[in-house]
Amino acid sequence: MRSLPRPASISFGIASALLMLATGAVSAQTGVPANAQPVQDADTPITVTPKSQRENSTTVQREGGRITQETVHSGGSTYTVTPANPNSTQLPGDAGGPQVRGPKWTVLEFDTNKKQKQRSADAAAEAAAENTADVPPPPPMPPAAR
C-alpha cells in the first residue's frame, strides 16, 4: 500500500515556492526602470513669501465708562459683541441672571446712499450734456482792421 505524503512536507513545499516567488517579485520592483533620466537642477532659487498680516481692527463704544458694544473686523469677517446687561438686581451666575451673549456676525451690508448718489451724479451729467447741446456756438470773430 502506498502512503500519502505528510501535510507538513506539503506545506513546506508550498511555502518555499511562495518564498521564491515573493523574493523574485521584490527584486523586480527595486530595479531601475529603463527610461529613467536624471532631473536637472533649476537655476532659479525657491523663494517663500510669508502671508501678509491680517488686518484686525476693533471699535469700542462706551457709555459711562462701561463697554456697550465692540465691533471687530478680522480679515474678511465682521462681528459685533455686546454684553448681557442685567435688567434687575440679579448678578451673573444667578438663576435668571444675565447670560453670556454670543457675537452677531455681519453677513451683508447694503449701501442705499450709493445708489442715490449715483443717480444724482448721472442726472447732473445728463443735465450738463443737455445744456451744452442747447447753447449755439459763438459767432465768428470779425477780421482785424489794419
pLDDT in tens, the chain (146 residues): 566 555 555 677 677 777 776 666 555 556 666 777 777 776 777 788 777 766 788 999 988 888 888 999 887 788 998 887 656 666 666 766 666 678 888 887 777 777 788 888 888 888 777 776 666 778 888 888 77
Amino acid 32: pLDDT: 66
Residue carrying C-alpha cell 442705499: 112
- 64 with 85: CB under 8 angstroms? no
CA distance 33 to 26: 14
Amino acid 51: pLDDT: 72
CA distance 97 to 7: 81
Amino acid 60: pLDDT: 92
Is the full-model pTM beyond 0.85?
A: no
b/e map 41-66, b = 16+ CB within 10 Å: eeeeeeeeeeeeeeeeeeeeeeeeee
Q: Any idea of the CA torsion for 118, 119, 120, 123, to the nearest 10 degrees?
A: 120
Could you tell me the end-to-end alpha-carbon distance of the chain, in angstroms, rounded to an integer?
A: 153
Amino acid at 115: K
Backbone CA torsion sign across 126, 128, 134, 136 = negative
Residue carrying C-alpha cell 477780421: 143
